[in-house]
Structure 1
Amino acid sequence: MGKIIAVTNQKGGVGKTTTSVNLAASLAAAKRNVLLVDLDPQGNAAMGCGLDKEGGRYSSYDVLMAAAPVSEAIVTLSDYGFSLIPGNADLTAAEVQLLSAEKREVRLAQALKPIKADFDYILIDCPPSLNMLTVNAMVAADSLLIPMQCEYYALEGLSALMSTLKDIQDTVNPDLHLEGILRTMFDDRNRLTKDVSEQLIRYFGDKVFRTCVPRNIRLAEAPSHGMPVINYDKSSRGAIAYIALAGEMIRKEKRNGLMQKKNVV
């Protein structure tokens, strides 16, 4: 059975889409079967993979509104080794339409259920807000991956996100947990970055990924060329960071699997 991970943070500009696209490509490079679901009305994940976000027959909007089966919305990205359900501006309308829809919180979970076993990882790129789209992603997900910059305002936003996580656990998805916190745009020469990083580790412990994603020109350039950074410049610091993140997640899965086997025995 695959694992669904929502990549989320209500603060914009922290690297959610960058992380979603490049983690998908890095997991695929490690021979994992990956689906990326773009749930952001900006539709940047599709553009970051070289697709026209308006050019497909179906999008994540159609999946959410049950206008098309999820299997028909999946686009195979042969050059990058993973699959994508693109998002576009129609998702803005979905935010409003879902408010009056039946089973509004579980629409995405129900849509992904038939294909979950077909993938090792399903990554959901969430919008930069705690709206009904994000709630759908959190209800569908097994865990949350939170990219964040190491700055004090980010800590305040993280507190609100953890509160939402608890609300979701207490109501519709008790199995939801924190996959990890990813420090992005990381500059270890900056005293503030170090201070906030130390606070994160002190509070969240091993839930903070050891991998940090640095500020990197090649990483910033890659979307304009419609490529994940490991395809644009595999030797860049940004590519190396996301390959390391994928490796860290895979090792964690293996450890957890071994622990579960021991507990069964």
Structure 2
Amino acid sequence: MASSKQSTSKKPVVLSIETNAGGVSKSTIAYNLAYELGVMGFQVGLIELDPNLSLALFCGLIKQGKLAKEIPGTTADVLDSEFDGAYPWISIWEDKTKNVQMCVGGDPLYGSIRQIDRDPMGVMTLAKRFKQYPINKDFIIIDCPATLEPLPFVALAASTHVLLPIHPEYKAGFGTATMLAWFDKKINDLDRDPPPKIVGMVVSRIKSDWEFQQKIANSIEVVAKRRKLRYFTPIPENAYIAKAAGKGLPLGLYRRNEPVRKQYLEIAQALIDELNTSRGAV
């Protein structure tokens, strides 16, 4: 069972959830991890680095196609050259936990992309913000768009850890090697010591009765083992996960005893282990 711990440091585990394809449940994984860590007593910040607002929707901030309540700003403000350190956090699921906040993404990020493209050091923008204005949380989870440039590179440059979700279809399965090659190159380009660590790979939305998906998942597991990367228990296609997202709730609130919740807890525990290691805990 995962252990709890209160926030004591301004050196959080910064996890970017990255993928080179859509439909792999990156936003679903992001907000469910945030909830599980939050209810265990950890301070968690969710950063939506995606213009499409999927994360805001799944966190219950969007009703009838519009933001359900006033927000103090967006992630684009954090990336802006005039940012003054006032992160636009907004609390979510306040009636269940006080420990999870998020920065909402959205259309303003398109302007951020143009700004980053114009600046030779633009990919370092978020990393610079974190260094100049440290965030007193245990975990920062960055939800990236379904592409590898440029916002995911911005997230990678600011991250201590990376999680790679993969949907077991032919396109995504065959693209695994390409995605890992991209990370190898970009991590090398960053020239950081230590470099961002790939905390693991997780197959998502797998259908147990689809033999071809099982074969692709097995091949991805082989790649992970070859690379000495952790291969998390695959997250199945699950109607309750989808229904929870539609209600703006994490699975742990929508259906507490749903067995698939264990998969999120497995990843959460791995992140806690990384946090304890970085802080020298026994």
State TM-score, norm by structure 2: 0.83
Q: Deviations over 1:11-69 (max 9, x none)?
A: 00100100111111111122221111000001111121112475412100111113433
For residue 159 of structure 1, report the CA deviation from its aligned partner.
2.1
1:109-188 alignment runs, 5 A limit:
109-114=127-132, 116=134, 118-174=136-192, 175-188=195-208
Partner residue in 2 for 1:200? 220
For residue 261 of structure 1, report the CA deviation from its aligned partner.
8.3
Work out the CA distance in 1 between the residues paired with 2:244 and 2:46: 17
Work out the CA distance in 1 between the residues paired with 2:35 and 2:61: 15
1:1-265 alignment runs, 5 A limit:
1-52=11-62, 54=67, 55-77=70-92, 78-79=94-95, 80=97, 81-101=99-119, 103-114=121-132, 116=134, 118-174=136-192, 175-205=195-225, 207-251=229-273, 253-254=275-276, 256=277
For residue 144 of structure 1, report the CA deviation from its aligned partner.
1.3
Higher mean displacement: 48-57 or 105-114: 48-57
Give the RMSD, CA atoms, in angstroms: 2.4
Work out the CA distance in 2 between the residues paired with 1:248 and 1:213: 16
SS at match of 1:110: helix
Maintained 8 Å contact 2:201/2:232? no
SS at match of 1:73: coil
Q: Deviations over 1:115-160 (max 9, x none)?
A: 5451111110000112211110011111210111122211232222
Work out the CA distance in 1 between the residues paired with 2:247 and 2:171: 31
Contiguous gaps of at least 5 residues in structure 1: none
Maintained 8 Å contact 1:70/1:112? no
SS at match of 1:184: strand
Maintained 8 Å contact 1:76/1:83? yes
Maintained 8 Å contact 2:16/2:156? yes
The share of aligned pairs that are identical, in percent, is 22
State TM-score, norm by structure 1: 0.88
Choose between structure 1 and 2: higher helix proportion. Answer: 1
Maintained 8 Å contact 1:219/1:239? no
Higher mean displacement: 68-77 or 7-16: 68-77
Work out the CA distance in 1 between the residues paired with 2:220 and 2:162: 16
